[in-house]
């Protein structure tokens, strides 16, 4: 936790993949967490999942472990909200379900409590319909897994709450990025969706196999994007003239590539090719094994490029 940042009690609402990752990050940085989920299955091994992820967070903390925050579990929403100063909602992407949750949360917490939604596709404008105090809600979209990936995309209407949000996530070594306006998919998911659309198109059009597409991305632009963003990469591609030179001399060729991109349909045939291609690339490794390999690689990268 950043020096001087107050220890908070956070309520984790929804204990799936994203919820356990947030809980690990928050407790690793000294915040107390009360976690709630209506499903006994989700709560059954929650502490075990949180501890595993928390160990990974600690590997990235150069100054050693701070005091670990307390973790409590409950199947009563009101119990999780008692004394909470921050609420991180991770419910399924169902609008009415989330809106119902917000009504219950607002009835149980004070006006100063921020409700942060981890939503990946719903917008602030949709989520806040029916809220008594909509300005208290922010969208705070993490990139999976949140305890390792630094990005948190924030949209908030209230200036003070926006500033509080940036401080809160930055205090856990996250990289907050603020949206200027409400948008479906925020920033990163829009970029990821655009890239995957063409990755699917390449497979659908038999330009290359799934494994070749993934290898090209990992060993080419993906590696470069880990240190510079898309705009900066093209700025550097313009040489000494930078972006201005690139747009002047290579802009037309860029437009030709845009026009050549596809808009594939996820037909049964295309889905079958994707499933078979991923199975070949996985080479018998389970999802858990692949996720473990991904996390280990992310930790190595983050240690070099924090």
- Residues ≥6 apart with Cβ < 8 Å to 92: 14
Task: Please say if the pLDDT value at position 1 is more than 70.
Answer: no
Does the fold of domain 188-304 match that of domain 9-178?
no
Domain parsing of the chain, residue ranges = 9-178, 188-304
- Using CB atoms within 10 Å of the CB of residue 180, give its burial: 0 to 12 exposed, 13 to 18 middle, 19+ buried: exposed
pLDDT tens per residue across span 77-114: 999 999 999 999 999 999 999 999 999 999 999 999 99
pLDDT 10s digits, 146-168: 999 999 999 999 999 999 999 99
pLDDT at 179 over 70: yes
Distance CA 81, CA 86 (A): 9
Predicted confidence at residue 64, as pLDDT, reads 64
Alpha-carbon gap, residue 20 to 52, rounded angstroms: 10
Alpha carbons 218 and 79: distance in angstroms, whole number = 45
Identify the pLDDT of residue 108. Answer: 97
CA 28/CA 55 separation, integer angstroms: 8
The per-residue pLDDT for range 10-66, each reduced to its tens digit, is 999 999 999 999 999 999 999 999 999 999 999 999 999 999 999 999 999 877 666
Does pLDDT of 3 surpass 70?
no
Can you give the pLDDT at residue 169? 97
The whole-angstrom distance between residue 128's C-alpha and the CA centroid of its chain comes to 20
Q: What is the model's pLDDT at position 305?
A: 73
For residue 2, what pLDDT band results from cuts at 50, 70 and 90?
very low
Provide the token pair at 167.
């401080």
Q: How confident is the model at residue 175 (pLDDT cuts 50, 70, 90)?
A: very high
The conformational region for residue 30 under phi > 0 = left, psi -120 to 50 = alpha, else beta, is left
Q: Phi and psi (nearest 5°) for 181?
A: -150, 160
Confidence of residue 304 (pLDDT cuts 50, 70, 90): confident
Using 50, 70 and 90 to split pLDDT, how confident is the model at 7? confident
For 212-262, the pLDDT digits (tens) are: 999 999 999 999 998 899 999 999 999 999 999 999 999 999 999 999 999
**Model confidence at 306, in pLDDT bands (50, 70, 90)?**
low
CATH number for the domain running over 9-178: 3.40.50.720
Residue 283 has pLDDT above 60, yes or no: yes
Strands 114-117 and 86-89: parallel
Q: According to the model, what pLDDT value does residue 5 have?
A: 58
* Greatest CA separation for the chain: 62
The fold of the 188-304 domain, in CATH, is: 1.10.1040
Confidence of residue 6 (pLDDT cuts 50, 70, 90): confident
**CB-based contacts of 85: which residues, under 8 Å, 6+ apart?**
8, 9, 10, 112, 113
Q: Are 147 and 57 in contact (CB under 8 A)?
A: yes
């Amino acid at each position: 936790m950043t020096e001087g940042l107050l220890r908070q009690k956070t309520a984790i609402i929804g204990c799936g993949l994203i919820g356990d990752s947030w809980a690990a990050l928050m407790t690793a940085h000294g915040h107390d967490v009360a976690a709630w989920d209506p499903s006994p299955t989700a709560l059954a091994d929650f502490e075990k999942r949180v501890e595993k992820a928390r160990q990974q967070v600690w590997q990235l903390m150069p100054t050693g472990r701070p005091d670990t925050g307390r973790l409590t579990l409950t199947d009563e929403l009101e119990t999780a909200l008692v004394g909470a100063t921050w609420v991180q909602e991770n419910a399924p992407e169902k609008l009415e379900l989330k809106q119902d949750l917000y009504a219950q949360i607002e009835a149980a917490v004070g006006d100063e409590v921020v409700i942060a939604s981890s939503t990946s596709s719903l917008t602030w404008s949709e989520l806040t319909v029916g809220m008594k105090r909509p300005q208290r809600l922010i969208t705070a979209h993490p990139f999976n897994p949140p305890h390792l990936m630094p990005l948190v995309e924030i949209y908030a209407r209230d200036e003070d709450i926006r500033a509080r949000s940036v401080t809160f996530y930055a205090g856990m070594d996250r990289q907050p990025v603020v949206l200027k306006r409400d948008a479906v998919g925020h920033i990163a998911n829009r970029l990821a969706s655009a890239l995957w659309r063409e990755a699917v198109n390449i497979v659908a059009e038999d330009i290359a196999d799934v494994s070749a597409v993934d290898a090209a991305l990992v060993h080419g632009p993906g590696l470069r994007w880990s240190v510079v963003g898309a705009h900066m990469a093209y700025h550097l591609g313009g040489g000494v003239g930078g972006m201005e030179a690139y747009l002047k001399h290579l802009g037309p060729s860029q437009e030709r590539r845009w026009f050549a991109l596809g808009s594939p349909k996820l037909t049964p045939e295309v889905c079958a090719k994707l499933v078979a291609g991923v199975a070949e690339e996985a080479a018998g490794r389970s999802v858990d094994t692949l996720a473990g390999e991904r996390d280990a690689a992310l930790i190595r990268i983050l240690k070099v490029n924090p």
